[in-house]
Every structure is written in C-alpha cells, then in structure tokens.
Structure 1
Amino acid sequence: MKFERFVAVRYLTRRQGLFAFITTLIGVAGVSVGVAALITTLSVMNGFQTDIKDKIIGAQSHILVFGRMSKDTYQKNIRLIEQLPLVEAAAPHIYGQGIITYAGQSVGLIVRGLDPEQEKKINTLADSVEEGSFTPDWPEDAPPPLVLGSELAANLGADIGDDVVLISPQSISTSAGMFPKMKKFRISGLLRTGYYEFDNTIAYTLLSHASDFLGLRQGTTGIAVKLHNINDADKAAAQIQDVIGHGYSVRTFAQLNSTLYAALKLEKTMMFIILFLIIGVASLNIAGNLILLGTEKLRDIGIMRAMGASPRMIRKIFMWEAMVIAGLGIVLGLLLACLLCWIIATFNIVELPGDIYYLTKVPVRMQLWDIVAVIGGSCLICFAAGLYPAVKASRVHPTDAIRYG
C-alpha cells in the first residue's frame, strides 16, 4: 500500500475521541442516504414513465402514417412498408372526429376504425377489452358495433347493448338543405388501456363502418407500423417516408406524444437536481470532518513534512480520506437503494388508487445509466469537498506545525 493511502486509512480507523467518530459516521451516512434516496426516486419515476409508454404504445403503435388513401393505395403501401428490414408489421387505421349522443348527452370524441385481426400484429389493444368484443355475434340488421373507452362510457352512463348516435362533422346535401351526417351504433364492448386520455376520448369500430361513417369509400386515413426495435423509430420513419413518398405525414410515438414525454423528462431532471442537494449537504460533512482532522493531526503533518513528505503527498492523504468516506457511503447507499427498490416492487407498501392510476403497486425500474450518473456525480462532489481541507493541510509549515501542534 502506498504511503498516502496507508496514512489515510489509518487516520480513518484509528482516530481518538467520540466526536471524531461521530463526524466520520455522519459523513458516511449522509452520502449513503443521499445516494439511496436519489437512486430509489429515479427508479420509481422510471417505472411510471415505462408504464405510461407501454400503455401509449399498446394502444397505438411505434409509427403512424397519416394521409387519406384508397383501398388499393393503402394495401400497396402496407406491402412496401413491411418489406423494410426494421418493420415487423403494418395495419390500416382510420382516425376521425365526431360527436356521440346518448340519453340527451353529447360529447366530442375521436372515431378510430380498425381491423381487429390486423390490429393484433401491431399493438396489444385487444388485450385491453374488459367486456364484450369488436366483433359481436349480432343479427345482420343490428346497428354496427362500437367499443367505447371505459371512462367515456362511464361519463355517458352507457353500457354494452345500448344504442348511441354518432354525428359526423361532414354534412350531407338534401332537397331541404345541408344536414349533419348521423349514424346509429350499438355498444359492443368496453375498453380500458390505463391511459385516461385514450379511455375518455376514443371510440373504436370496424374499419368498414368507420370508412362509411366518415365518407372514405372503403379507404383509410393512414397506416400503423410496428418495429422490431422501438429505438429505431426515427430511422424507420425516414425510410418509410422515402418508400411511400412525401405526400403523407410519418410520425413516431415520441413525436405524437412529445408534450407528455417532455414533461416527464423535465420532471425527472428536476428531481435529480433537487435530490442531489442531499449529497451536497453530505459532502459538507466530509469537508468539516477533514478540517477537523487537519487540526487534530497538525503535529503529525509537521513531522511528516520534516521527514521529507511533500505538500503533494499531504494533499493526497486528505483526498484519500475524503474518497474513502465517499466510497463507503456510495456502496452502502447503492445497497440500500437496491433493498428499497426490491421492497417497493415486492410488497404493496404504498397502495395506489386503482381508479386513478390503474395500478395497485408503485412501479420500479432501475436503469444502469441513472446509477452510473448518481455514482459519478457523488464521487465528483465529494472530491470537490475534500479539495479545500487538503490544500490547507499541505500549506502548513513544518516548524509551525511541530511547535504549535
């Protein structure tokens, strides 16, 4: 062991006095609590972000292509898109606006048309159906089926089997003038994605019925695309744009939900900065501990200087002292964070209201880069805290240190 490390470890383990022991313990504990709090908080936030992302992608897809297409055009474009190596599957979709009326209530919504069999290839929307189905076994003369989001159905007071009327923003011309286009649908199912924005604003029906209601003549308003790897979304979007031409809009899931993702990212960044102050406070304890050590070991410093130790060696002794305290604190904090995350993920300590979050347990997801950032930042700030005491101790004159120590 080098001289500097040997002296630093000896000073740390052989210091006399209860006060010196307590200050060292506070320094280690402060770093431990700060690291554990920061990693645990970031892991919980990652869990919520991942859960929200899964809900959004599960109800949509990785990439959406927008643009009115005839039946032959969208079938041709789907074949072209599915030939791309990054693409796993593609399916037609229809998005349109309308108004739903039931029992004297009228609510604006998004009408989404889909093919249930093809939809299974690009998302997990079918797994979100709580009651009923997209294709009920009804008589041929029954109104077309309509699946409502659970929140939308609850707000309307409607249930499976109830007839509702959809009003299209398009008007039809008659001899008496222009009238809004209306069509009767029958609720065939209730769907809960777990994302309130979808469950309160979207109604789902079969592709043919949505096309007829919106006057698309068996066409669609776009194509939904699923990728092999979600991280290739931007690259795949550019390839899809080149294949189908620039007459269509190609948007990734991140672009479609940019406001939400920006808010989540900002929230995580601010929490990182705020909780990092805990480690900053702990580093002040380390600085105070080293200043106390410099005063306590003033005579020892003078003797080492008189025996040939350079100021650089004295600085290294104090910096090693700071990093040993920080290292112990970081290791203990990391172990404590792992324990806390395991407890939160395993046991229902904090029970979430299911009607708000659609979860009963707090989701936890530890990410390597977050842990690396916390450890790296903690080492850096603890290193900075040890600089002043180390420099101050190295500037002590040997004669004065021996005389007054």
Structure 2
Amino acid sequence: MNIELFLAQRLNKQTSSRFSQPIIRIATLAIAVSVAVMILATAVVTGFQKEIRDKVIGFGSHIQITHFADGNSYESQKISKIDSLKISLEGIDDITHIQNFATKAGIIKTKEEIQGVILKGVGSDFNPSFFENNLKAGNIEVYNDTLTSRKVVISNKLAKQLQLQVDEKMVMYFVQNPPRARTFVIGGIYETGLAELDEIIVLGDIRHIQKLNGWKTNESGGLEVSIANFDDIEAVTQKVYHQLGFNLNAQNIQDLHPQIFDWLNLQDLNIQVIIILMIIVAAINMITTLLILILEHTQLIGTLKALGANNWSIRKVFLYNSAYLIGKGLLWGNIAGIGLALIQFYFEPIRLDAATYYMSVVPIHLKLVHLFLLNSGAFIVCWSALIIPSYLISKITPIKAIRFE
C-alpha cells in the first residue's frame, strides 16, 4: 500500500473542517478559470485563423500554376496544352482537385458608379462549393464546354456599391487594343466578409477571357490545385513545381498572400501570452495553498518525522494532495471552457461586425491535441512549481513541530 497516497487522501478529507478550505476553493477556482480562459482563447484564435485561411483558399485554392510572365499582374498569360498538364498532376496523391482559371482586369460602369474589378474565368471543372456556402442571393452558374454563359457572380459589397441586383445587366469594359466591352447578367451575389477580395473578384465563364485574348479552347491562364491537408502545402508545392516546364511557376496561397498569412501567424503570439499568464496565476495560487497546508499541518509533519518518516516521503504526501487539487481545477476548467465553446459553436450568441472582423460570428475550432497539450502542460507546470516550496518541510524539526499551535 502506498502510505503517502493514503495520507494525502485522508488529508484532503480533513480540510473540509479547517480554515484552509476557503483558500483551497479559491486556488481550485483560479485553476479552473485559467484553464477555461486558455481553452476559449485557443479555440477562438484557432477558429479565426482557420476561417480566414479557408476564405483566402476559397478564392484561389491551395496552389496556383501560372506562366512566369504573369508576375503580380491580373492579366493572365496563356498556357497551352492545359489538359495534358492536368493529367500529369493528377498522379500526385495529395491533390484532390484541379481546375482551369484565367483572370482579366476590367471596369464595371453603371449609370452612377464605376469600379475596377478582376474577372476570374472558370470552366466546367470549377468547384463551386466555397461560393455556394457564401451565397447571399441567386445561384452559381454551372459553366459547360459547349455554350458561353453571360451570367456572373459578384460580391454583395460590389452589388451595393454599383446598385445592382440578381438578374440585372451590367457592362464591363476591358482596356486592350482595341478596347472591348461585354454585357453580363448578375446570376448570384456572394459575401465572404474578406473585403480585400470581395470588392474586386467577379466570377464568370472562362470562355469570355479566351475570346477576348484570342486563345484557343485548350488554352488557359493557369490551374488551381486543391490538396487534402493544408499542413502539407509546402511539400505538395514542390512536387507540383517539379512537374512543370521551365516557363511555368507554382505558388501556394501563402506565397500569393504573404501579408495575410503573416498576420494570421502573429495571432499565435496572443495565445502564447495568455497561456503563460494563466499558468503563472494558477501556479502562484497553488504555491500559496501548499504553504498554508504545510503551516496548518505542522504538528502532523512533526509526528510523522518522530515516527521515522523521511522528508521526501512527507513532501510526497503534500504533493499528492496538491495534484488532486490541480486535477479538480482542471476538470471544472475543461467543463466550463469546452461548454462555453460549444454554446458559441452551435448557437452563435456572440456576433461580430463583419466589416471589421471579416466574419459575422466569433469562430470556434476545438482540437483534441490542443486540449491535451493545455491540460498536460498546465498540470506539469503547476505541480512542478510546488516541488521547491515543499522543501520547507525538511526545515521543520519534530520537537518544535509537535509543540506548534
């Protein structure tokens, strides 16, 4: 039988009738609040990063293959034999979808407004799921390989600015030699909340860009590649790049939008600061509680020493008792943190201004690995912080301790 564990259990039961009980409750509450705050902060920041990342990927997939001459231009250069290139890339296991695209800068002019935009042309292989999930009105046109569709999808921001509605016509002008104009019909209106892209992207049939640029039907501005796991994006980008010719380039979404992803990575610093502060608060409370328990049980310590118990054995009694208190705080903290996170996830009581935060509700993304690391890390740090204060027990002499009142 483990005598230290037995004494720790008895010690824990006895505290209910002692003056240290309020202090123990405060320490347990401090741990619970700290853990709940860490869980919520991690879930919210991770959810925010995932939401923004998914929106950026929705506009351009994980990897884009374009002509080297494109540079940072919105005017796509043609890539010939696009079908054979797609076939060669389909052999890469990590790739889940490949689609044609092309972009062309244009100007939308109405009776009262004018706005520069980017016409993004897509074809029959287009995956509309992202835009369907963010559709506010109308529908997403299914483009085919036989007929050229005049229907386009614009953002809610553009629709309000240009005073356009579904099924209304609009004229887009293209600056080239000679200048061209095309009349389109608003087929759908989307809203992602990502203003930087919402205000410029117009989704339409790639055949318009092919005709404007004088391309053949098997020529495109590039390919968008979707992959199964975002964490593998760098490795897959290298695999794709090695499959390309000398005149083509492969860039992942992090390369195309470095400012957005650098900003998202900075959010990790916020989580780290919160976690460090919360663990410090919990550890300080547990150290204070341990010192009070030692002071309260000075006579017990003296008696155990008189009976022949060594210092480390007595220290383990109090460390076991402290571990129980830490575990109790972790349990209540997880119940509170996970419970509040699930309430926000399913019922969305806390709303946000989409114009400021790029989303209309506080996002939540709980990951089991984060919960495990938070709980195990908090327990290890708090319990380890008690080892040095427990050394006070070795300074207590049996005679003085037994006489202590």
Q: Determine if contact 2:159/2:189 at 8 Å carries over to the other structure.
A: no
Partner of 1:152: 158
Runs of 5+ in structure 2 lacking a partner? 68-75
Percent same amino acid among aligned pairs?
Answer: 23
Partner of 1:65: 65
Q: Supply the distance in 1 between the matched residues of 2:149 and 2:366 (Cα, whole angstroms).
A: 49
Residues 201, 291 of structure 1: alpha-carbon distance in 2 compared, 3 angstrom cutoff: same
Partner of 2:99: 91
Structure 1 position 79 matched with structure 2 position 87: yes
Q: Supply the distance in 2 between the matched residues of 1:350 and 1:336 (Cα, whole angstroms).
A: 17
- Per the TM alignment, residue 376 of structure 1 is displaced from its structure 2 partner at its CA by 2.1
Partner of 2:171: 164
Q: Determine if contact 1:133/1:147 at 8 Å carries over to the other structure.
A: yes
Partner of 1:322: 322
Partner of 2:260: 260
Partner of 2:126: 119
Q: Supply the distance in 2 between the matched residues of 1:397 and 1:241 (Cα, whole angstroms).
A: 73
Q: Root-mean-square deviation (CA), in Å?
A: 3.0
Q: Supply the distance in 1 between the matched residues of 2:213 and 2:151 (Cα, whole angstroms).
A: 15
Partner of 1:176: none
- Per the TM alignment, residue 404 of structure 1 is displaced from its structure 2 partner at its CA by 4.1
Residues 280, 358 of structure 1: alpha-carbon distance in 2 compared, 3 angstrom cutoff: closer
Give the 3-state SS of the residue equivalent to 1:379 in structure 2.
helix
Deviations 1:43-81 (A, max 9, x none): 233333333333333333222112166464222211211
Partner of 2:73: none
Give the 3-state SS of the residue equivalent to 1:88 in structure 2.
strand
Pairing of 1:335-354 with structure 2 (within 5 A): 335-352=335-352
Q: Supply the distance in 2 between the matched residues of 1:49 and 1:82 (Cα, whole angstroms).
A: 29
Give the 3-state SS of the residue equivalent to 1:153 in structure 2.
helix
Q: Supply the distance in 2 between the matched residues of 1:7 and 1:364 (Cα, whole angstroms).
A: 43
- Per the TM alignment, residue 329 of structure 1 is displaced from its structure 2 partner at its CA by 0.6
- Per the TM alignment, residue 229 of structure 1 is displaced from its structure 2 partner at its CA by 4.2
Give the 3-state SS of the residue equivalent to 1:107 in structure 2.
strand
> Aligned residue pairs: how many?
391
Q: Determine if contact 1:57/1:123 at 8 Å carries over to the other structure.
A: no
Partner of 2:202: 203
Deviations 1:330-382 (A, max 9, x none): 12211222322232223342244577778665442210121122112211331
Residues 147, 43 of structure 1: alpha-carbon distance in 2 compared, 3 angstrom cutoff: same
Give the 3-state SS of the residue equivalent to 2:61 in structure 1.
coil
Deviations 1:261-313 (A, max 9, x none): 33233224313422542342232222111111222222221221222211211
Q: Supply the distance in 2 between the matched residues of 1:287 and 1:237 (Cα, whole angstroms).
A: 50
Q: Supply the distance in 1 between the matched residues of 2:180 and 2:77 (Cα, whole angstroms).
A: 23
Partner of 1:192: 190
Q: Supply the distance in 1 between the matched residues of 2:312 and 2:18 (Cα, whole angstroms).
A: 30
Q: Determine if contact 1:40/1:341 at 8 Å carries over to the other structure.
A: yes
Q: Determine if contact 1:97/1:108 at 8 Å carries over to the other structure.
A: yes
Q: Determine if contact 2:80/2:220 at 8 Å carries over to the other structure.
A: no
- Per the TM alignment, residue 227 of structure 1 is displaced from its structure 2 partner at its CA by 2.8
Give the 3-state SS of the residue equivalent to 2:226 in structure 1.
strand
Give the 3-state SS of the residue equivalent to 2:364 in structure 1.
coil
Give the 3-state SS of the residue equivalent to 2:164 in structure 1.
coil
Q: Bigger CA drift: 374-383 or 49-58?
A: 49-58
TM-score normalized by the length of structure 2: 0.85
Q: Bigger CA drift: 352-361 or 33-42?
A: 352-361
Pairing of 1:195-234 with structure 2 (within 5 A): 195-214=194-213, 219-234=219-234
Q: Supply the distance in 1 between the matched residues of 2:112 and 2:182 (Cα, whole angstroms).
A: 15
Runs of 5+ in structure 1 lacking a partner? 173-180
Q: Determine if contact 1:166/1:183 at 8 Å carries over to the other structure.
A: yes
Give the 3-state SS of the residue equivalent to 2:390 in structure 1.
helix
Partner of 2:294: 294
Q: Supply the distance in 2 between the matched residues of 1:83 and 1:251 (Cα, whole angstroms).
A: 19
Q: Determine if contact 2:173/2:182 at 8 Å carries over to the other structure.
A: yes
Q: Supply the distance in 2 between the matched residues of 1:340 and 1:128 (Cα, whole angstroms).
A: 26
Q: Determine if contact 1:43/1:365 at 8 Å carries over to the other structure.
A: yes
Residues 264, 354 of structure 1: alpha-carbon distance in 2 compared, 3 angstrom cutoff: closer
Pairing of 1:242-257 with structure 2 (within 5 A): 242-257=242-257
Q: Determine if contact 2:195/2:355 at 8 Å carries over to the other structure.
A: no
Residues 253, 150 of structure 1: alpha-carbon distance in 2 compared, 3 angstrom cutoff: same
- Per the TM alignment, residue 93 of structure 1 is displaced from its structure 2 partner at its CA by 0.8
Give the 3-state SS of the residue equivalent to 1:320 in structure 2.
helix
TM-score normalized by the length of structure 1: 0.85
Q: Determine if contact 1:134/1:188 at 8 Å carries over to the other structure.
A: no
Q: Determine if contact 1:98/1:111 at 8 Å carries over to the other structure.
A: yes
Residues 202, 57 of structure 1: alpha-carbon distance in 2 compared, 3 angstrom cutoff: same
Q: Supply the distance in 2 between the matched residues of 1:351 and 1:231 (Cα, whole angstroms).
A: 30
Residues 355, 277 of structure 1: alpha-carbon distance in 2 compared, 3 angstrom cutoff: closer
Structure 1 position 379 matched with structure 2 position 374: no
Q: Which amino acid aligns with 2:169?
A: D
Deviations 1:229-287 (A, max 9, x none): 44433222212111113432212234334432332332243134225423422322221
Q: Which amino acid aligns with 1:196?
A: A
- Per the TM alignment, residue 222 of structure 1 is displaced from its structure 2 partner at its CA by 1.0
Give the 3-state SS of the residue equivalent to 1:118 in structure 2.
coil
Residues 358, 259 of structure 1: alpha-carbon distance in 2 compared, 3 angstrom cutoff: closer
